Structure 1
Amino acid sequence: MFSHVCVVGLGYIGLPTAAILAAQGIRVTGVDVNERSVAEINQGHVPFVEPDLEAFVVSAVNRELLTAQTEPAPADAFIVAVPTPFHADKSADLSYIEAATRAIAPHLTGNELLVLESTSPPGATEFMADVVFQERPELKDADLKFAHCPERVLPGRVMTELVENDRIVGGLTPEAAEAAAELYRTFCKGEILLTDAKTAEMAKLVENSFRDVNIAFANELSIICDKLGINVWELIELANHHPRVNILQPGPGVGGHCIAVDPWFIVSAVPDEARLIRSARTINDAKPQWVIDQVKAAAYGLDQPAVALMGLAFKPNIDDLRESPALSIAAQLADEMPTARLLAVEPHIEELPKALAGRSNVAFTQTEDAIATADIVVVLVDHDAFKQLDPELLEGKALVDTRGLFRA
């Protein structure tokens, strides 16, 4: 039975996990290096947008079941949910996992469970164990249990999917897998699927690579259709009437911390074999440049074009900008079209992100004002707020619609 859990990393996955554990009556110490986030959480505030999460956090803090701080504390179980970006060569950067593990090590006494939730390449959980034993060699026979339990939730539905989705739990030993499963059973109503740690790590990468490959097909199809003068949205709708065809929708690229990153971990591990996965990543990484070229073509002949950039988040109806192709497109246009007036619209944030702040040719603008002013309207994110727009507002304006909001 777990009475105290320490969650290291209070971001988009760690904080919801901490809050849902606290809702089960388990005492949780949340740890984050960001002092501002720690202070906000201890006041019952959530430093990012996620439906329903704040109610869980407020309840947990008020019941004194959730406390945030900047250093780990002794606990029965530790969950590490920190970023795993990649290096310039696309190999995984495990430095955040290493730093979190080294911070945990002094607080271990034996018999604890350590769970890695961060999306990681095969072998990362074993790496975490090695770091612990480097720091604390005397604990090698202390029955520490190491497991990997990858998150698989959708931003905007995290609090629901944490409970309802099936979970994969992989241990360095069968005993570690079962201990981790016991922890997740405290809140997870989905099926708990036990395996070894390396398979669990690979499962998350495969899930996101599958999606990446299918998105790449849609994105490549959109470029082909543009070349042939075919409406890609109509084409996909027609093709999807086949009982065994389900083509996804194209977009300006692929963003987020998962799909845009995880496939590279497979490519880095087996570069000669991961040919299709590499090709999909290359196609999706190249799509923003294609969008930029479309905007430049629409601006041809205009001395100081006003360009409305509709959306900066990496997906609809959230404030998450991680690996956002829309944000990347906006920043690159600011560099490559210095005489243009870029009118950035993002209803889910309150100020321009760092990538755009301070640029003289970029303004943070309300939706209607941006469209009224613009010569060119670029739809980058299909937020619900944009779906409500009257198409007549676009009359007389050039349109680059990467999300098919205005398909006529």
Structure 2
Amino acid sequence: MSFRTISVIGLGYIGLPTAAVFASRKVKVIGVDVNQHAIDTINKGEVHIVEPDLDMVVHAAVNEGYLRATRQPERADAFLIAVPTPFKGDNHEPDLSYIKSAARSIAPLLEKGNLVILESTSPVGATEDMAAWLAEAPPDLTFPQQKGEESDIRIAHCPERVLPGHVLRELVENDRVVGGMTPKCSEAACKLYRVFLHGECVVTSARAAEMCKLTENSFRDVNIAFANELSTICDRLKIDVWELIRLANLHPRVNILQPGPGVGGHCIAVDPWFIVSSAPEESRLIATARQVNDGKPQWVQQKVKLAIADFLQTNPEKTAREVTVACYGLAFKPDIDDLRESPAMKIATSIQHDHVGRVLMVEPNIRELPQKLSNATLVSEAEAKNEADIHVLLVDHKSFKAKAPQSGIIIDTRGIW
């Protein structure tokens, strides 16, 4: 099996770097996305997301003719699906509609010997669902659920395991968990990833690969929840939580993480719910950790309201309308532009909604505020520090660490000021 042409469905924070890395190895890559702006930007050799060095790799790949973006899928030797898997409803039920749409869009194009890999982080059983959707269109092809090792089409699940800000390096260096629906499916997937992979391909079943990614992020979520709960306890008991964690971590077998305003991103804040939805009675600890982390933004919002009240008490000549609040950081982690599932965004949106005075937003990695923050003003860090009465540090971007505001009330959810 040779892979002369690869199609990547979904050109977001995972799909585009993956497409670019394949293209950098002189493999023809067809990127597919529903976002016309993303398509046009990529075809100009530019990027629509912030990720270190990605712009250079994409520029070279497009100019050399190895990467092209389009709206409609085309025939290829291998298809990688990297589309979102959000929730639907209020019960955190996984929404597989994007995977379903992607599968049905490529199904009529499949040919004998093709490989389809689901990279989207998914609940257990999603790869099998995708295989069923793929089998709906081409009646002359066989699939692993029908013919096992003798199937015409190979299908596997291989979740991404990268850190935003380090994606290009980690795509190449990190081990990959490869879960084929059959051993031959796994073998084909490993052959594809070895085009660029320096790490190991660790083979397992599709279900184990799905659960592995969910487990990794749930482990982190539970540990962050412990730190976040500690921070609220220490606030009640008038203890510096960052000093406490530093002292506790002197123990050779203790490694407590750092608290924050919540947990965000498209993985850690989402994946644990996929486990809970699959086994609600057995995942009580995971569900509780999610509730702790999901509740932290409300705790921060309450701290802001108390800070405004304190400011007015010490400045009785002012009204609430004359109090300016600045929020520092909107991304879900430092030094990126990704606002998905960001607790900082939730807090900033709530502050804008509740506060009658000016609300300033400082986010050095974006050029304009999202629609939900249209009543706030995007300003520079210097402007905010000069004009605000209440300073709410939500994300520990590198630039914020240089100097704390010299006046006003500070609410530091990251422990850097």
TM more than 0.5: yes
1:157 to 166, 169, 172: 166
> Is residue 350 of structure 1 aligned with residue 367 of structure 2?
yes
Aligned to 1:293: 302
SS in 2 for 1:194: strand
Deviations 1:354-399 (A, max 9, x none): 2202x2xx1111111111111111000000000012x3x333x111
Residue 137 of structure 1 and its aligned partner are, at CA, apart by 3.3
Q: Aligned partners of 2:380, 2:64: CA distance in 1, in Å?
A: 40
1:236 to 234, 239, 245: 245
SS in 2 for 1:272: coil
1:331 to 349, 355, 358: 349
After TM superposition, the score normalised by the length of structure 2 is 0.94
Q: How many residues align?
A: 399
Aligned to 2:115: 113
| Correspondence list, 1:22-33, <5 A | 22-33=23-34
Aligned to 1:364: 378
The one-letter code matched in structure 1 to 2:38 is S
SS in 1 for 2:7: strand
Deviations 1:53-86 (A, max 9, x none): 1111111111111111001111110000000001
The one-letter code matched in structure 1 to 2:350 is Q
Residue 220 of structure 1 and its aligned partner are, at CA, apart by 0.3
Aligned to 2:334: 316
Aligned to 2:181: 172
Residue 221 of structure 1 and its aligned partner are, at CA, apart by 0.3
SS in 2 for 1:44: coil
Aligned to 2:273: 264
Aligned to 1:10: 11
Q: Aligned partners of 2:76, 2:93: CA distance in 1, in Å?
A: 32
> Is residue 204 of structure 1 aligned with residue 213 of structure 2?
yes
Q: Aligned partners of 2:372, 2:164: CA distance in 1, in Å?
A: 22
Aligned to 2:97: 95
Aligned to 2:402: 388
Residue 340 of structure 1 and its aligned partner are, at CA, apart by 2.3
> Is residue 399 of structure 1 aligned with residue 410 of structure 2?
yes
The one-letter code matched in structure 2 to 1:10 is L
Deviations 1:88-135 (A, max 9, x none): 221110000000000001111221000000000011111110001122
Q: Aligned partners of 2:154, 2:111: CA distance in 1, in Å?
A: 12
The one-letter code matched in structure 2 to 1:253 is G
The one-letter code matched in structure 2 to 1:256 is G
Aligned to 2:316: none
Q: Aligned partners of 1:115, 1:11: CA distance in 2, in Å?
A: 16
> Is residue 213 of structure 1 aligned with residue 227 of structure 2?
no
Aligned to 1:184: 193
The one-letter code matched in structure 2 to 1:202 is M
2:358 to 318, 341, 345: 341
The one-letter code matched in structure 1 to 2:341 is E
Residue 138 of structure 1 and its aligned partner are, at CA, apart by 2.8
Q: Aligned partners of 1:402, 1:354: CA distance in 2, in Å?
A: 25
1:307 to 317, 325, 341: 325
After TM superposition, the score normalised by the length of structure 1 is 0.96
Residue 255 of structure 1 and its aligned partner are, at CA, apart by 0.5
Aligned to 2:129: 127
Structure 1 stretches of 5 or more lacking a match?
none
Residue 243 of structure 1 and its aligned partner are, at CA, apart by 0.5
The one-letter code matched in structure 2 to 1:239 is A
The one-letter code matched in structure 2 to 1:211 is R
SS in 2 for 1:78: strand
The one-letter code matched in structure 1 to 2:120 is S
Aligned to 2:255: 246
SS in 1 for 2:130: helix
- Name segments (4+ residues, structure 1) moved above 6 Å: none
Residue 145 of structure 1 and its aligned partner are, at CA, apart by 0.6
Deviations 1:22-74 (A, max 9, x none): 11111110000111110110110000100011111111111111111001111
Q: Aligned partners of 1:144, 1:303: CA distance in 2, in Å?
A: 64
The one-letter code matched in structure 1 to 2:413 is T
Q: Aligned partners of 1:13, 1:346: CA distance in 2, in Å?
A: 22
The one-letter code matched in structure 2 to 1:46 is V
> Is residue 40 of structure 1 aligned with residue 54 of structure 2?
no
Structure 2 stretches of 5 or more lacking a match?
313-318
Q: Aligned partners of 2:103, 2:139: CA distance in 1, in Å?
A: 14
Q: Aligned partners of 1:229, 1:293: CA distance in 2, in Å?
A: 17
> Is residue 69 of structure 1 aligned with residue 89 of structure 2?
no
Q: Aligned partners of 1:31, 1:308: CA distance in 2, in Å?
A: 39
Q: Aligned partners of 2:245, 2:357: CA distance in 1, in Å?
A: 34
Deviations 1:212-261 (A, max 9, x none): 00000000000000000000000001111111111000000011000000
> Is residue 276 of structure 1 aligned with residue 290 of structure 2?
no
Q: Aligned partners of 1:354, 1:151: CA distance in 2, in Å?
A: 30
Aligned to 1:136: 138
Q: Aligned partners of 1:303, 1:65: CA distance in 2, in Å?
A: 57
Aligned to 2:315: none
